[in-house]
Structure 1
Amino acid sequence: MSATTPPDAVRDGDLIAAIDLGSNSFHIVVAQRVLGQLRVVDRLRETVRMAEGLNALGGLDPAVRDRALACLDRFGQRVAHIPRRQVRAVATNTVRQLRNPDVFLRPAEAALGHPIDVISGREEARLIYLGVAHEQPPEPSQKRLVIDIGGGSTECIIGRGFQPLERESLQLGCIASTRRFFPNGKLGRKRWQAALTEVELQFQQFAATYRNLGWDEAIGTSGTHKALANICAAMKAGTGGISREALHKVRDRLLMAGRIEDIDLPGLSDDRRPVIAGGVLVLEAAFAVLGLEYLQVSKAALREGVLYDLLGRDGADDPREASVAALMQRYGVDVAQAQRVERTALMLFDQVAADWGLGREDRAMLSRAARLHELGLAIAHSGYHIHGAYVLQHSDIAGFSQQGQRFLATLVRCHRRSVPKSAFEQLPERLQPSARRCAALLRLAVVLHRARRDETLTGIRLSASGNTLRLHLERRWLQARPLLRADLEGELEDMLDLGVALVLDLA
């Protein structure tokens, strides 16, 4: 095991699981690590159609919510005996669109027995590409276009090897587009053409960039593409893929039905019939705008990408670390100061982690926040902690869930000055206690390094009991640093807004 591999990393024989809360279907994939590779041992899929329950105000129909929770309860039984670190659940477009996602996520996490990460569209795109690349390894120099049509969104990615180069996510999916363009179930050429023109405009936003970059092959993934490949094969219009000509034949036959409930396509399952029109519409627009002639179909999708990403987080391939390094470079972070604060923050963390119930992921997030706490200085010195927090919350940062970015942003927002009463409200309740405590540790580390010079912090010890932090310092050492003493005395009051009582113990 390498020095960068944690002692509780996934080993040969261990099981890992990925759970995908899609807008159409929920999926679970369980795999076993064998000789460094993943071997799928179980798959479950249930049609939940979350997107059907999403209303214009961002609410979720109670019947659809109950259907989703019942599915997650069953999935939870399957992963109940797999260690928490070896399971990752992600939620996509429909949960992203909810006005208050936590209203759904709290009971959903209770039913599943695991946290659920809400991921952005571009992070979803990255994971989809990762899954396809691992399942169908490309040539190192080969570029691929990958298109994933889900229930609520469509992701388009160009990548080379295992790295995505361009990622886009559109608010177009088989369910969402069917509901939007054919709300009464009627199909007709005039209606279809008007809808196609509107969908094509969405692809036009990035089409020039993609076509200029180019690709060697195009791959479709997820349910719509698999269903269309089966239909094309049944119509003897192709085997294993989708051509432009075959797609038009499917569209023409679909429109002949006149109504969605009357669609009669060979190879089409009853389960897929209610949403196939929206999927065909989106794919026809993609073919037209991107100039596609043929699309291979991959068995891999988001869930496989989540599995491989989960493995990467155990070692040097954690995408979050690469993202932090890129942010530091982009915003000109003072690396030496960031490292000083990080070392001290982690030293303090290690002294109180057990008493405060903080874990490995909390330590990693504190480390990242320490490296990024001055990111906002590139914008302005005044309120730089606010600027940095805004950037971290609202950027597309590879590897992070929306909750993860908010956690990071909250630590950066609260590392200096007063702490707003609403600072932690954006976080799920389960993350708020650890975020408050990590913020307290980051504040102390920043104060101890205000001088911005290398200094051995001798005699400093931290202990925790309940919500009380006791900072043990040598009296003579602190007396020689009047500015530090004034800063620490100021923290006695400011820390209270974190729910932490700081006590200075001078010996």
Structure 2
Amino acid sequence: MEKQLAPNSGRIIAAIDLGSNSFHLGIARVLDNNIQPMHRMKQRVQLAENSDDAGNLDPESMARGLECLRQFKQRLDQMQFETIRVVGTYALRHAPNRNQFIRQAREILQLPIEIISGREEARLIYTGVSQNQVVQHPSLVIDIGGGSTELVIGQGHQAQALESLSMGCVSYQSRFFSDGKISEKRMKKAILAAEQQLELLQQRYLRFGFDACIGCSGTIKAITLLVHDGDLSKPLKLKHLEALATKLVEHQHTDELPFEQLAELRRKVLPSGLAILIACFRQLEIEQMQFSESALREGVLSELADMALHQDIRQRTIDSLQKRYQLDRQHSALITQSAQWLHQQLGGKKKHRVWLEFASALHEIGLHINYRGIHKHGEYILSNINLPGFNLDEQQLLAFLVRWQRKKLSGFELPGLQTIDDGHLMKLIISLRLAILLHLGRRHRIALPQLKVEEQNLMLQFSEGLEDNDLLQADLELEKQHLSSLGWQLNWR
């Protein structure tokens, strides 16, 4: 067993990236504000391989992934960590049966599995690149994964344009080269399909402009190694890629490729990855690309090393949405204060109160569509908008809180999230609903009541009588009916 580090040797952190093609484990030490890599593991599990038309994961692919996680777990058990974060990408984002894999993965690792959106993946990739090299000029960063390709324009540590396209080396291998045969016709079809995907962002990215291009992750690394005979410091150009494509076509089958330095699984997805990269060069008019060793795993480690930075990213996201949708910050702040006060009396956990702050800040975002059904419109917006710093489970939690902030509870069903268990989520819902009710119609001068709870019986105790406040009493009567549908009894005095 490896010797454990002494406490004064720095904080030990780890990140696991569950990619559609490969799983990555990164272990690092944080010492004097610097991240020192200690260990890396990678396995090509090709989780997205042989997915059906609906995107369901193949049992054999899941078995490979779970066996890889067992090996990762053995490595993790040899050390003591301050924190470990596990993120899943395209294959797990889109697979209808992902919970089958996630449930078993959680049992193996004894850790939550975060599924991140495509744009959040792109942001973290850029964070990894920019934390490990100087991005002095506006630069385009490209990461070709197993199921998706992320494209980011940024400068310094700031990502300025983020996109994730549904094209990857494993999904395109299944689509265009499933039997291993390589022909000029197949290669052209794969390139054309990727070019069609890139049309979605081509003009916008060209108008945005960039002075340099950086490529990262396994596909681009493998291509660079082949083109430059193992020298990763030399840049890729379109002529190099087209010459390599010609060479692949000449050999007609992935089994016949002469690249002994490539593992069998990497050879298998080489034609599809190359087709996507050629399309990127052509559509985005890339002159040359420099390879970077850093990507998603390093981005996750970077934010783990500075959790305050991660929290700041989430707060910036909330602030940006309040500004964009012209939300009433003063009103939201009062609801936050009231909701957190009620939540404390309900016996809720302090760490969960940040969700009351976020939900209160955005509870009126549905006004952007229409006042009627504001809660449903809010849920729709928050379910579909890009939320930097939030994983998909957290995004679902925020949308859920906004959806059930008020009105009838017919159809209410707890979603079974990883971020919070159902019991504590119910405490958030009750706290938020009561806070919004108390301040309904901008009722800002009300004295906050005491809240007593016994099992599922709630008692609001007001310091001032409600005899002269017919409107508040009517609102409470209506809420009493709503909560009773879930087995909660609300009373007041």
TM-score by length of 1: 0.89
The within-5 A match list for 1:427-442 is 427=417, 431-442=421-432
Match of residue 356 from structure 2: 366
Equivalent residue runs for 1:40-439 within 5 Å: 40-79=37-76, 86-139=83-136, 142-234=137-229, 239-265=233-259, 267-315=261-309, 318-353=312-347, 356=348, 358=349, 360=351, 362-425=352-415, 427=417, 431-439=421-429
* Distance of aligned partners of 1:240 and 1:464 in 2 relative to their CA distance in 1, 3 Å threshold: farther
Q: 1:53 to 1:111 in 2, by over 3 A?
A: farther
2:491 maps to amino acid: L
Amino acid at match of 1:477: G
The share of aligned pairs that are identical, in percent, is 35
RMSD: 2.5
In structure 2, what is the Cα distance between the partners aligned to 1:83 and 1:391? 41
Alignment of 1:427-466 (within 5 A): 427=417, 431-455=421-445, 457-458=447-448, 460-466=449-455
CA-to-aligned-CA distance 1:230-270 (integer Å, 9 cap, x gap): 1122178x744322222222222222211111111364233
Quote the Cα distance in structure 2 between the aligned partners of 1:241 and 1:462: 65
Bigger drift between 447-456 and 298-307 goes to 447-456
Q: After superposing the two structures, state which structure 1 stretch, 115-124 or 96-105, moved more.
A: 96-105
- In the TM superposition, what whole-angstrom CA distance separates every residue of 1:122-173 from its partner, at most 9, and x where no partner exists? 111111111101011322xx21100000011111111122111111111111
- How big is the shift at 1:107? 1.9
What is the distance in 2 between the residues matched to 1:106 and 1:497? Answer: 31
Of 307-316 and 96-105, the range deviating more from structure 2? 307-316
Q: Distance in 2 between matches of 1:338 and 1:464?
A: 25
- CA 475–463 in structure 1, closer or farther in 2 if over 3 Å, else same: closer
Moved more, 261-270 or 289-298: 261-270
Runs ≥4 in structure 1, deviation > 6 angstroms?
A: 81-85
The question of whether the paired residues in 2 share the 8 Å contact of 1:196 and 1:281 is answered with yes
Paired residue type of 1:259: H
Query: Gaps (5+ residues) in structure 1?
Result: 1-9
CA distance in 2, matches of 1:382, 1:84: 49
C-alpha deviation, 1:351, in angstroms: 3.0
The question of whether the paired residues in 2 share the 8 Å contact of 1:24 and 1:150 is answered with yes
Q: Say how many residue pairs are matched.
A: 487
Distance (whole Å) between structure 1 residues aligned to residue 79 and residue 260 of structure 2: 40
CA distance in 1, matches of 2:84, 2:140: 29
Residue 504, structure 1, aligned to residue 491, structure 2: yes
The Cα of 1:479 is off from its aligned counterpart by 3.5
Output the CA distance in 1 between the equivalents of 2:32 and 2:230. 42
Q: Any stretches of 5+ residues in structure 2 without a counterpart?
A: 1-6
Residues 47, 497 of structure 1: alpha-carbon distance in 2 compared, 3 angstrom cutoff:
farther
Amino acid at match of 2:22: S
Q: Secondary structure at the match of 2:326?
A: coil
Answer yes or no: is the 8 Å Cα contact 1:472–1:504 preserved in 2.
yes
Separation in structure 1 between the aligned mates of residue 109 and residue 378 of structure 2, nearest angstrom: 34
Normalised by the size of structure 2, how large is the TM-score?
Answer: 0.92
AA at the equivalent of 2:377:
H
